């Protein structure tokens, strides 16, 4: 769900930086052993909306209520980052807010949208560095401030329809993926696509460069925070491969086909309906297939890698859901009880993982015997554990950087910008110009 939120949150994040300087609110120095048990109602905003997700969340909140009967949680679904940001700016935030956008953690922390949770962790005697896997520990903090906690993780792999694959094994390299995509594509008498082996364009659901860049080991930034996009040949490899396959389909043909798809998060997802043979997607798709297309015979595998990087096969992109206490929350102590429960309680994390098929975000939950590990989900646990799997380094302009590259990629793959070197150089310029404007904020 990350890509859907990045662009909507970006504008709001850039506006808030200048509006919040000098307004940091430190978390109260609570005594975790002496929390008040007076009845309190807290507001919790989250982005989940699918029926199976909402039921899983309700079941988990019931577990919280048993441990904290004096706290009533009023949950609001389908909330996006820009709504959270505006509530903080307007002085009327919820007590707890959940975001699918790890891309914005640096801005959340720098602009004080969420409170620093280090004092809460200290009071609760929680060592985040030993509780969370390293990559998760890293993407939930920025410049020494942990303003959010991880609540489940996402990894990305390749889903394939076994019937449409016609006995072919899932591809391991980009050339194998292209060859198989062509082989499995079905067109009608007019040349229109009926079934696509694979839709290569960056506008296809989870094909955003943040997810596909790992297939070629591409870098986003240099150590000084400037853009590495134009100088890293891996991006040229990826974008050339995508355009070559797009050109084979015909850009207009593949776009016509893509625009005929149903909503990504509904039963009309084209993978559910057998319209595409292979698709990049996150681990949560397992639960959605079980709910919306239970008879679908499918498999999962790591994403293919560049032909000269065969040793990296098995890696994927890692991100996750994050949760915290917004600045100005009315009931921060009760809010911390909920945040702590949802992010550190093994039973809660395993319950959610089993229901919505996200990867557990703590080491104890990953090792729990109660965690369901069917073959299609095990793929994502293996990707999560792969040392070559990566996340996006925290950056104050993370959302902007992604948006800039994706907009350029759309121009390139559509044929509106024929010089790839010039396209990538322009991406570098825009990212670096933006960095100069925001570095001192």
pLDDT tens across 189-220, in order? Answer: 999 999 999 999 999 999 999 999 999 999 99
d(CA 288, CA 272): 9
For 97-122, letters b (16+ CB in 10 Å) and e give bbbbbbbbbbbbbbbbbbbbbbebbe
Confidence band (pLDDT; 50, 70, 90) for 119? very high
**Which residues, 6 or more positions from 391, have their beta carbon under 8 angstroms from its beta carbon?**
102, 135, 138, 139, 317, 318, 319
> pLDDT value at position 107?
84
Give percent of the chain above pLDDT 70: 91
> pLDDT value at position 30?
54
> pLDDT value at position 10?
39
Average pLDDT over residues 236-260: 97
Enter the tokens of residue 67. 């441990």
Confidence band (pLDDT; 50, 70, 90) for 104? confident
pLDDT tens-digit series, residues 18-62:
333 334 444 454 544 345 689 999 999 998 887 878 888 888 999
Average pLDDT over residues 376-389: 92
User: For the packed helices 174-184 and 233-249, what is the interaxial angle rounded to 10 degrees?
Assistant: 10
Average pLDDT over residues 267-296: 96
Taken in order of first residue, the domains within the chain and their CATH numbers are 2-154+318-385 (3.40.190.10), 156-312 (3.40.190.10)
Average pLDDT over residues 131-158: 91
> pLDDT value at position 36?
66
What is the chain's mean pLDDT, rounded? 90
> Which range (307-311, 337-341, 353-357, 378-382) has the least confidence?
353-357
Tell me if residue 80 falls in helix, strand or coil. Answer: coil
> pLDDT value at position 201?
97
> pLDDT value at position 22?
36
Cβ distance 329 to 94 under 8 Å?
yes
pLDDT tens-digit series, residues 298-319:
999 999 999 999 999 999 999 9
Cβ distance 108 to 114 under 8 Å?
yes
> Which range (3-12, 215-224, 236-245, 351-360) has the least confidence?
3-12
pLDDT tens-digit series, residues 167-195:
999 999 999 999 999 999 999 999 999 99
**Which residues, 6 or more positions from 396, have their beta carbon under 8 angstroms from its beta carbon?**
17, 106, 107, 110, 435, 438, 439, 441
> pLDDT value at position 51?
82
> pLDDT value at position 24?
46
- Residue 276's CB is within 10 A of a number of other CB atoms, namely 28
Query: Cβ-count burial of 266 within 10 angstroms (0-12 exposed, 13-18 middle, 19+ buried)?
Result: exposed
Cβ distance 116 to 27 under 8 Å?
yes
On the question of pLDDT at 437 being above 50, the answer is: yes
> Which range (71-80, 234-243, 374-383, 390-399) has the least confidence?
390-399
> pLDDT value at position 126?
95
* Antiparallel, parallel or unpaired: β 40-45 and 96-99: parallel
């Amino acid at each position: 769900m990350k890509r859907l939120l990045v662009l909507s949150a970006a504008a709001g994040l850039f506006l808030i930086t200048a509006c919040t300087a000098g307004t940091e609110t430190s978390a109260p120095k609570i005594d975790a052993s002496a929390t008040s048990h007076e009845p309190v109602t807290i507001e919790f905003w989250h982005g989940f909306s699918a029926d199976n997700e909402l039921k899983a969340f309700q079941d988990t909140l019931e577990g919280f209520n048993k441990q904290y009967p004096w706290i009533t949680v009023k949950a609001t679904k389908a909330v996006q980052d820009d709504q959270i940001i505006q509530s903080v700016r307007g002085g009327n935030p919820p007590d707890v807010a959940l975001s699918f956008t790890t891309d914005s953690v640096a801005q959340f922390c720098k602009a004080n949208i969420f409170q620093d949770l280090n004092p809460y962790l200290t009071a609760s005697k929680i060592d985040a560095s030993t509780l969370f896997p390293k990559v998760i520990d890293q993407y939930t903090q920025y410049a020494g401030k942990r303003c959010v906690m991880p609540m489940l993780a996402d990894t990305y792999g390749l889903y394939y329809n076994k019937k449409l694959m016609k006995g072919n094994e899932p591809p391991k390299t980009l050339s194998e993926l292209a060859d198989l995509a062509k082989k499995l594509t079905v067109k009608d008498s007019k040349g229109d696509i009926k079934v696509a082996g694979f839709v290569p364009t960056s506008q296809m659901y989870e094909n955003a460069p943040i997810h596909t860049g790992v297939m070629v080991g591409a870098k986003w930034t240099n150590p000084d925070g400037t853009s590495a996009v134009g100088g890293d040949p891996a991006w040229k490899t990826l974008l050339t491969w995508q355009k070559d396959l797009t050109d084979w389909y015909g850009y207009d043909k593949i776009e016509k086909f893509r625009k005929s798809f149903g909503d990504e998060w509904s039963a009309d997802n084209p993978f559910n309906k057998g319209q595409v043979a292979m698709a990049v997607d996150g681990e949560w798709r397992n639960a959605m297939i079980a709910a919306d297309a239970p008879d679908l015979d499918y498999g999962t595998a790591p994403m293919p890698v560049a032909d000269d990087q065969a040793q990296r096969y098995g890696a994927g992109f890692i991100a996750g859901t994050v949760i915290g206490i917004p600045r100005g929350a009315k009931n921060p102590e009760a809010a911390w009880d909920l945040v702590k429960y949802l992010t550190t309680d093994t039973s809660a994390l395993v319950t959610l993982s089993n229901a919505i098929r996200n990867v557990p975000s703590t080491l104890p939950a990953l090792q729990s015997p109660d965690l369901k590990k069917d073959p299609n989900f095990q793929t994502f646990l293996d990707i999560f554990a792969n040392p070559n799997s990566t996340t996006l380094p925290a950056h104050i302009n993370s959302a902007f950087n992604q948006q800039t590259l994706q907009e350029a990629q759309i121009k390139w793959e559509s044929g509106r910008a024929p010089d790839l070197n010039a396209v990538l150089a322009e991406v570098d310029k825009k990212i670096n110009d933006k960095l100069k404007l925001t570095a001192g904020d």
